[in-house]
Amino acid sequence: MISVLILTKNEEQDLPGCLASVSWCDDVHVYDSYSDDGTVEIAKQYQATVTQRKFDNWSAHQNWGLANIRFKYPWVLYIDADERVSDSLRTHLLDFDGTRSNYVAFEIQRRDFAWNGRWLKHAQISPYYLRLFRPEKMRYERLVNPVSIPDGATGRLPGYLDHYPFSKGIRYWLQRHLGYADMEAAMRLEDLNKGIDFSWKKALFSKDFTEKRYHQKGLFYKMPGRPLIKWLYMVIGRRAFLDGKAGTTYATLQSIYEYFIVLKTRELQRATKEN
């Protein structure tokens, strides 16, 4: 069997659907950052085990959870409150036997859905995530959009993890990404100060998806005109236009988020020079 880990902070709207999609599991853990809405009560109604910790940053928070939460089973499925385990994924999870391989983690394909319920099949940039793993073999790095670092070989599990990033509306999405931009800019400035050398070779040819994405992001931050480059990449390179109006709108929102990071980085650089 598999344990389930769900991170929450004021998720009373999305949590019921998320918990319903993992009702097949008898060891569900809601890892909460002291919500002040009905999140904890909902978790208890679904018989989930609740652990609370004050949020500091994404990687530290996730690493603490994996190290301190007592899971019933050796394998953990990690999902967010705005995600759902699809029927196809549930079938493969119920049939999963971790003793049959030497893998320590498995990638799962995620489907992002727009506000109108359309699958952003082409616009989605990163479709695979390491979400099923042995907790003692997994750690996270980066303050936001953390990178999964498995200690061992990884495989890929069939089935979809469905994601609804606009479940709370576009205003919430923008507000949340303003916060993400603050952390991304802080990491960008830290990389600049440390003089970290990102590799084109690893960014293009690494077989490790996590390593590949890490170096791609590091190199991308060095490019001028990033918001426009991202929009062109998504709309033309990934053919987001095939997802209709939702695809091009999503590409535009992602470009705006990139511009948030640019502006915040400049702000931090000015503050550093003044001090």
Contact 2, 9 (CB under 8 A): no
- Pick from 140, 163, 186: which residue ends a domain? 163
pLDDT value at residue 201? 76
Number of structural domains (the chain) is 2
Calculate the CA 74 to chain-centre distance.
22
Same structural domain, 44 and 152: yes
- Pick from 145, 163, 181: which residue ends a domain? 163
Same structural domain, 132 and 220: no
Q: What is the pLDDT of residues 91-140, one digit of tens each?
A: 999 999 988 889 999 999 999 999 999 999 999 887 899 999 999 999 99
Same structural domain, 112 and 182: no
Same structural domain, 139 and 105: yes
> Exposed, middle or buried by CB within 10 Å (0-12, 13-18, 19+), for 62?
buried
Work out the percent of the chain whose per-residue pLDDT is above 70: 92
Same structural domain, 150 and 175: no
Q: How far apart are CA 193 and CA 102, in angstroms?
A: 39
Same structural domain, 74 and 99: yes
Confidence of residue 260 (pLDDT cuts 50, 70, 90): very high
Q: What is the pLDDT of residues 36-82, one digit of tens each?
A: 999 999 999 999 999 999 999 899 999 999 999 999 999 999 999 99
Same structural domain, 115 and 250: no
Q: What is the CATH number of the domain that holds 85?
A: 3.90.550.10
pLDDT value at residue 271? 84
Same structural domain, 225 and 109: no
Q: To the nearest whole number, what is the mean pLDDT of the chain?
A: 91
Same structural domain, 260 and 229: yes
Calculate the CA 177 to chain-centre distance.
13
Tell me the whole-structure pTM to 2 decimals.
0.86
Range of the domain at 154: 3-163
